[in-house]
Amino acid sequence: MEIINIEAETFEAMLSTVENFTRKMEHLCRQHGDRDSIEWMDNQDVCQLLNIFAPNPANASG
């Protein structure tokens, strides 16, 4: 088993990110109810609800 050390500040930032994501997911679940009673969302729907936008490859320099 490999042990990896990280700074406490980095760990707290990661934990905060996961907690924020969890809150968003819980909010979406409450907002949209039981998953058996609704239509499943695709990747684009989920990204739009979470305000996640993929970078535009046309704008990439290289």
- Write the pLDDT tens digit of every residue in 1-39: 999 999 999 999 999 999 999 999 888 888 876 656 667
Q: What pLDDT does residue 52 have?
A: 87
Is 9 part of a structural domain of the chain?
no
Is 62 part of a structural domain of the chain?
no
Is 41 part of a structural domain of the chain?
yes
What is the count of structural domains for the chain? 1
- To the question of pTM greater than 0.75 for the whole model, the response is no
Q: What pLDDT does residue 39 have?
A: 75
| 59 pLDDT tier (thresholds 50, 70, 90) | low
Q: What pLDDT does residue 51 have?
A: 87
Is 22 part of a structural domain of the chain?
no
Burial of 7 (0-12, 13-18, 19+ CB in 10 A): exposed
Is 8 part of a structural domain of the chain?
no
Q: What pLDDT does residue 37 have?
A: 60
Assess contact for 27 and 21: CB atoms under 8 A: no
Q: Which domain holds residue 45?
A: 30-54
Q: What are the C-alpha distances in Å from 5 to residues 9, 12, 39, 48?
A: 12, 13, 42, 35
